[in-house]
Amino acid sequence: MNMTVYVPMDSGAASLGAHELAQAIASEAARRGIALELKRNGSRGMYWLEPMIEVETPAGRVAYGPVRREDVPGLFDAGFLNGGCHALALGPTESIDYLKRQSRLTLQRVGVVDALSITDYLAQGGFAGLRRAVRMSPAEIVAEVTESGLRGRGGAAFPTGIKWNTVLNTTADQKYIACNADEGDSGTFSDRMLMEGDPFCLIEGMTIAGLAVGATRGFIYLRSEYPDAHRVLLAAIETARETGYLGADILGAGKAFDIEVRLGAGAYICGEETAMLESLEGKRGIVRAKPPLPAIEGLFGKPTVINNVISLASVPIILAMGAAYYRDYGVGRSRGTLPFQLAGNLKRPGLVELAFGTTLRELLYDFGGGSASGRPIRAVQVGGPLGAYVPESQFDVALDYEAYAAMGAMIGHGGLVAFDDTVDMAHMARYAMEFCAEESCGKCTPCRIGSTRGVEVIDRLMAGEARGKQLALLNSLCDTMERGSMCAMGGMTPYPVRSALKHFPEDFGIDATQAA
Amino acid sequence: MAALDNREFIQTAIDGHRHLDGALLPALHAIQDGLGWVPPEATPMLAEALNLSRAEVHGVISFYHHFRTTPPGRHVVQVCRAEACQAMGASALEAHAKRSLGADFGQTTADAAITLEPVYCLGNCACSPAVRIGDRIVGRVDATRFDALMAELREEATA
Ligand SMILES: Cc1cc2nc3c(=O)[nH]c(=O)nc-3n(C[C@H](O)[C@H](O)[C@H](O)COP(=O)(O)O)c2cc1C
Ligand code: SF4
Ligand code: FES
């Protein structure tokens, strides 16, 4: 039997040299006359250990990392193919604390399977959800998803089942599933990891969605910043078609569904669902007024389910294991798990999938290992560029949608960006306004003009010009943006700005009483 | 001569995509992937083929950061400016990139080797600061690593 070595092809691992490493391992094996099967998996999400390789042993998979090309001959000498001792040995993969303490539901196969092997996918329980779904009525599928408590993972946390139900109950000659793979938020990469590491899971989730609402066509709107995910998705869709999981006759059940991938073009606002539809239609990504809801009049004017990658990829396990299994994870109205993404200034950045209800402190310190710089963590931006900066005093609030909303923050897509105490929060507030000015779709004045004025006001505030006056101006500008913007771009840019002012007034040269 | 080649290429790209619903973006991607940019002659051709006004086509090209209306250098280098990269020193990297290349964002080096662009997140936030060179993503880039990467690109060009 061939020895099997896993080397991730995830773009994060690749960004640290995984492709060169795979080559080095292959040629060293050839040089030593060892027959070797190299499998390209996704990443387990422990990026400080990437490139992390694994070998298949009779006792299970054993990991080594971070491995550089220079380490390869030594690993062979140490007999790593049989799990031999080496300075880079991490032991059995599943026993690594960071991984062991997670609840991997949605990303259970990412890093485990060869991303493009449908055989691997099937061996790890893939398509069990779809097999069940083809025997159910659309209403039964929708009910199962509703009961699971799944809420949209793309930001707004709207119940997925309710959205599907609206589309199911709208009659039309054509309906669509539109997967939002724009993932524009800084600090988020779970969509990318899922698409690169387990593309069949997304395909399965979209197909189930299609069966549930009677849609025969699906689009994946993928950001152009993800060239690797693009390649993997195209290849996986082709394989799924060839094997009867996509196309005119899904699993021989007489139902049709197919998927097309469309690339975005570097516009953050195209992650907003109606701007995404405009972009998919080949237009400028300008936000549409609602109503009509996209569920009723969406893509090309037809009823459309719009869901985030992780929302859709959570559906196969819900169908395979039942609604209750998924719902039993989580707290309150935040059910199931969320892939939290640990980024920024952390010793052990990566992806941690956990049930809702955990805390920032646990994520930042128990998993993240504290700051990479060794300095105190001062602020964490949660939920992307429109998310609030959370100070240490709030690190123990449970991560659940409602608890976060109550403190004026949001979980969003689950991205955490940690900053140490060298951060200048006035600079970050300015950046938030600058980003909004750069990325605004331009449809409404508070967002388009307000963000530009916001940058100017913060500049004057920092220059020390009539601080009281500038501060009042900034506050009223934030009010106007919050109340007068059509979408969350303008409506939530005040979140990072106001949270920075509120929790870190000293960086603006003011004191706490002035900030409030 | 070059303009003629461009026209032919553009027409082929358009013909390959015009059957799609919402064909404009896929056609623009195909044009830029092949030519490195979207030349001015593409606008009337796209308008004609897709039954749009020139203003509409122009509106779309100018809306998206990705589409370029001037030819880039031999390599396009994008430096991530978003928060997670900032938390790990992206601002310093950005300053270094501009200084060492002698080019601002949107500009090309004097030797036409490198076009520098900003990017807002490459999804490589756990290995920040991140840079993209063509379709290759590179993680944990500091000034030294950046210089080495740029030297590599220039060697490729002269080799
Ligand atoms: C400015 C802005 C950007 C957004 N970007 C994304 C994104 O990149 N990915 C995403 O899934 N949702 C994004 N959203 C949320 C979508 O509008 C929408 O709520 C979501 O895709 C619905 O899917 P879900 O219910 O599965 O979360 C964004 C919203 C706004 C206002
Ligand atoms: S808030 Fe900004 S991005 Fe949203 S619709 Fe208005 S201008 Fe466009
Ligand atoms: S913030 Fe730079 S890669 Fe995400």
Contacts of B149 (CB under 8 A, 6+ apart): B131, B133, B138, B141
| pLDDT confidence bin for B3, thresholds 50/70/90 | low
CA distances in angstroms from B77 to A366, B105, B153, listed in the order given: 36, 10, 10
In degrees rounded to 5, what are phi and psi of residue A43?
A: -100, 145
Q: What is the pTM of this model?
A: 0.98
Residue with CA nearest ligand 2 atom 6: A444
- Tell me what pLDDT residue B1 has: 46
The alpha helices in B36-117, defined as continuous H runs, are: 42-50, 54-63, 83-86, 90-101
Give 3-state DSSP helix, strand, coil % of chain B, rounded to 5. 50, 10, 35
**Residue that is written with structure tokens 């030349």 in the block:** B39
Mean pLDDT computed over A500-512: 92
Cβ proximity of A107 and A353 under 8 Å: yes
CA angle A325, A331, A332 (to 5 degrees): 110
Q: Which ligand is nearest to the CA of A480?
A: 2
CA–CA gap between residue A338 and residue A319 (Å, rounded): 18
pLDDT of residue A54: 98
pLDDT value for A510: 86
Res B7: pLDDT = 96
CB B7 within 8 A of CB A247: no
- Do A317 and A144 touch, CB atoms closer than 8 A? no
DSSP letter string, A311-342? HHHHHHHHHHH-HHHHHTSEETTEESEEEEEE
Test A15 with B139 for CB contact under 8 angstroms.
Answer: yes
**Ligand 3 centre distance from Cα of residue A188 (Å):** 8
Q: Which atom belonging to ligand 1 lies closest to the Cα atom of A311?
A: 26
Q: Are strands A258-263 and A217-222 parallel, antiparallel or unpaired?
A: parallel
Q: Taking 50 as the threshold, does the pLDDT of residue A202 lie above it?
A: yes
DSSP symbol at A62: E
User: Where does the pLDDT of residue A513 fall: very low under 50, low under 70, confident under 90, or very high at 90 and above?
Assistant: confident
pLDDT tens digits, A154-189: 999 999 999 999 999 999 999 999 999 999 999 999
Whole-number pLDDT of residue A64 = 98
What is the nearest CA distance from B97 to chain A, expressed in angstroms? 18
- Say whether residue A372 is in contact with chain B using an 8 A CB cutoff: yes
CB atoms within 10 A of CB B148: 10
Q: Do A344 and B125 touch (CB under 8 A)?
A: yes
**Other C-beta atoms within 10 Å of A130: how many?**
24
Measured CA to CA, the distance from residue A149 to residue A163 in angstroms comes to 12
Please report where in the chains the tokens 């940019």 appear, as a residue: B37
Average pLDDT over every residue of A294-306: 98
Residue A511's pLDDT band, with cuts at 50, 70 and 90, is confident
Cα torsion A466, A468, A471, A472: sign: negative
A344 ligand 1 Cβ < 6 A: no
Q: Cβ(A436)–Cβ(A493) under 8 Å? A: yes
Which of residues A198 and A511 earns the better pLDDT score? Answer: A198
Instruction: List, in order, residues 6 or more apart from A442 with CB less than 8 Å away.
Output: A286, A448
Q: Which of A220, A417, A421 to substitute to test the interface with B, most B CBs within 10 Å?
A: A417
Q: What pLDDT, on a 0 to 100 scale, did the predictor assign at position B156?
A: 78
User: Quick check: A200 and A240 in contact, CB under 8 A?
Assistant: yes
| Chain A to chain B Cβ contacts (< 8 Å) | 151
Select the residue from B105, B121, B146 to test the A interface by mutation, using most A Cβ atoms within 10 A: B121
Beta strands A60-64 and A89-92: pairing type? antiparallel
> What is the mean pLDDT of the segment spanning A264-284?
98
Note whether A12 contacts B: Cβ–Cβ < 8 A: yes
Partner B contacted by A43 (CB < 8 A):
no
Contact residues on chain A for B23, CB-CB shorter than 8 A: 282
Q: How far is CA A96 from CA A49, A99, A346, B126, B138, in A?
A: 11, 5, 18, 18, 26
Decide if A281 and B22 are in contact by the 8 Å CB cutoff: yes
What confidence category does residue A295 fall into, taking pLDDT thresholds of 50, 70 and 90?
very high
Q: pLDDT at residue B119 above 70?
A: yes
With a cut of 80, say whether residue A273 has pLDDT above it. yes
Best residue among A272, A436, A443 to mutate for probing ligand 2, ranked by most atoms within 8 Å of CB: A443
Output Rg (C-alpha) for chain A, integer angstroms: 24
Percent of chain A whose pLDDT exceeds 90? 97
For residues B20-38, one letter each, b for 16 or more C-beta atoms within 10 angstroms of the residue's C-beta and e for the rest, the string is: eebbbbbbbbbbbeebbbb
Looking at chain B, which residue has its C-alpha nearest residue A16?
B139
Span A245-261, average pLDDT: 97
Residue A245: the pLDDT is: 98
Mean pLDDT of all residues in B104-115: 97
Straight-line distance from the first to the last Cα atom of chain A, in angstroms, rounded to the nearest whole number: 68
Q: Is the CB of A489 under 6 A from ligand 1?
A: yes
Secondary structure E strands in B22-145? 75-80, 114-119, 131-133, 136-138
Q: What's the gap in Å between the CA of A222 and the closest CA on chain B?
A: 12
Q: How far is A94 from chain B (nearest CA, A)?
A: 21
Tell me which residue in B22, B65, B83 faces A417 most closely, judged by beta carbons. B83
Residue bearing tokens 């955990």: A358
pLDDT tens digits, one per residue of A1-33: 579 999 999 999 999 999 999 999 999 999 999
Q: Which amino acid is at B96?
A: H
Burial class from Cβ neighbours inside 10 Å (0-12, 13-18, 19+) for residue B144 reads exposed
CA distances from A310 to A126, A241, B10 (A): 16, 22, 36
Residue B5: predicted pLDDT: 87
Quote the minimal CA–CA distance from B53 to chain A in Å: 12
Residues of chain B with C-beta less than 8 angstroms from the C-beta of A227: 135
Query: Is the pLDDT at A516 greater than 60, yes or no?
Result: no
Average pLDDT value for residue range A106-119: 98
pLDDT digits over A342-381, tens only? 999 999 999 999 999 999 999 999 999 999 999 999 999 9
Nearest residue of chain B to residue A424 (CA atoms): B87
**Closest ligand, as measured to the CA of A446:** 2
How far is the centre of ligand 1, averaged over its atoms, from the C-alpha of A153 (Å)? 8
Structure-token pair, residue A95? 């026993």
Q: Return contacts of A30-38, CB within 8 angstroms, 24+ apart.
A: A32/A76, A34/A3, A34/A76, A34/A81, A35/A2, A35/A3, A36/A2, A36/A3, A36/A4, A36/A5, A36/A81, A37/A2, A37/A3, A37/A4, A37/A5, A38/A5, A38/A6, A38/A7
Sheet holding A176-181, edge to edge: A258-263, A217-222, A176-181, A304-308
What distance in Å separates the CA atoms of residue A288 and residue A274, rounded to the nearest whole number? 5
Q: CB contact, 8 Å: A350 with chain B?
A: yes
Share of chain B above pLDDT 70, in %: 96
Q: In what order do the strands lie in the sheet with B131-133?
A: B114-119, B75-80, B131-133, B136-138
Question: Does ligand 1 have an atom closer than 6 angstroms to the CB of A455?
Answer: no
C-beta of A233 in contact with ligand 2 (< 6 A): no
The pLDDT tens digits for A437-479 are 999 999 999 999 999 999 999 999 999 888 999 999 999 999 9
- E-state strands within A225-376: 258-263, 304-308, 330-331, 334-335, 337-344, 350-355
Q: What is the pLDDT of residue B41?
A: 97
Mean pLDDT of chain A: 97
Q: Judge whether A451 is closer than 8 Å to chain B, CB to CB.
A: no
